Structure 1
Amino acid sequence: MDRKLGGIEDTVKQIKEAGGKGCGYRCDLTDREDIYRTAKAVKIEVGPVTLLVNNAGYVCGRTLLDLPDEEIDRTYQVNILSHYATTKSFLKEMMKDNHGHVVTVASVAGLLGTYRCTDYSATKFAAIGYHESLFTELRAHGYDGIHATLVCPYFINTGMFNGVKPRLLPMLEPEYVAEEIVAGILTNQVNVVLPGSVRYLLPLKCFLPAKMCWALMYQIMQGPQSMMTFKGREVLQDQNANIPMTRSEKN
Structure 2
Amino acid sequence: MKDVRGKAVLITGGAMGMGKLWAQHFAQDGARLILWDVNEKALKETEGELKAEGCDVIVQTMDVTDREKVYKTVTELEKKYGNIDVLVNNAGIVAGGEFLNTPDEKLAATIDIDLKALMWTMKAVLPGMIKKGAGHIVNISSASGFVGVPFMLAYTASKWGVIGLTESIRLEMKELGHHGILFTCFCPSYVDTGMFKGARAPLLTKILKPEEVIDIAYDSFINDKYFVLEPWLVKVTPFLKGLLPTPIFDLISDVLGATGSMKHWTGHSK
TM-score, reference length from structure 2: 0.83
Separation in structure 2 between the aligned mates of residue 222 and residue 22 of structure 1, nearest angstrom: 42
Contact 2:141 2:185 in 1 (8 A): yes
Q: Which one of 245, 248, 268 corresponds to residue 209 of structure 1?
A: 245
Q: Which one of 136, 152, 163 corresponds to residue 198 of structure 2?
A: 163
Q: Secondary structure of the equivalent of 2:75?
A: helix
Q: CA deviation at 1:197?
A: 4.5
Is 1:123 the equivalent of 2:158?
yes
Q: CA deviation at 1:164?
A: 1.2
Correspondence for 1:114:
149
Q: Which runs of 4+ in 1 moved over 4 A?
A: none
Separation in structure 2 between the aligned mates of residue 151 and residue 182 of structure 1, nearest angstrom: 10
Is 1:135 the equivalent of 2:170?
yes
- What is the one-letter code of the residue matched to 1:150? C
How do 1:38-53 and structure 2 match up within 5 A? 38-53=73-88
How do 1:186-201 and structure 2 match up within 5 A? 186-201=222-237
Q: CA deviation at 1:11?
A: 2.4
How do 1:1-251 and structure 2 match up within 5 A? 1-168=36-203, 169-218=205-254, 220-233=255-268, 247-248=269-270
- What is the one-letter code of the residue matched to 2:46? T
Q: Secondary structure of the equivalent of 1:58?
A: coil
The one-character-per-residue Cα deviations of 1:40-84 (angstroms, maximum 9, x if unpaired) are 333234321010111111111022211222112111110111111
Q: CA deviation at 1:95?
A: 0.3
Mind listing any 5+ residue stretches in structure 2 that lack a counterpart? 1-35
Q: Secondary structure of the equivalent of 1:23?
A: strand
The one-character-per-residue Cα deviations of 1:79-125 (angstroms, maximum 9, x if unpaired) are 11111111111100100121100111011111111111111100110
TM-score, reference length from structure 1: 0.89
Separation in structure 2 between the aligned mates of residue 9 and residue 194 of structure 1, nearest angstrom: 32
Q: Secondary structure of the equivalent of 1:91?
A: helix
Q: Secondary structure of the equivalent of 2:124?
A: helix
Separation in structure 2 between the aligned mates of residue 197 and residue 74 of structure 1, nearest angstrom: 29
Contact 1:115 1:223 in 2 (8 A): no
Bigger Cα displacement from structure 2, 27-36 vs 171-180:
27-36
Contact 1:166 1:226 in 2 (8 A): yes
Alpha-carbon distance change, 20 to 164 in structure 1, aligned in 2, over 3 angstroms: same
The alignment of Structure 1 onto Structure 2 pairs a total of residues equal to: 234
- What is the one-letter code of the residue matched to 1:126? G
- What is the one-letter code of the residue matched to 2:38? R
Contact 1:27 1:38 in 2 (8 A): no
Correspondence for 1:236:
none
Which protein, 1 or 2, shows the higher relative CO under an 8 Å CA cutoff with sep ≥ 6?
1
- What is the one-letter code of the residue matched to 1:209? P
Mind listing any 5+ residue stretches in structure 1 that lack a counterpart? 234-246
Separation in structure 1 between the aligned mates of residue 247 and residue 233 of structure 2, nearest angstrom: 23
Q: Alignment RMSD, CA only?
A: 1.4
Q: CA deviation at 1:189?
A: 0.3
Using the aligned pairs only, state the percent identity: 30
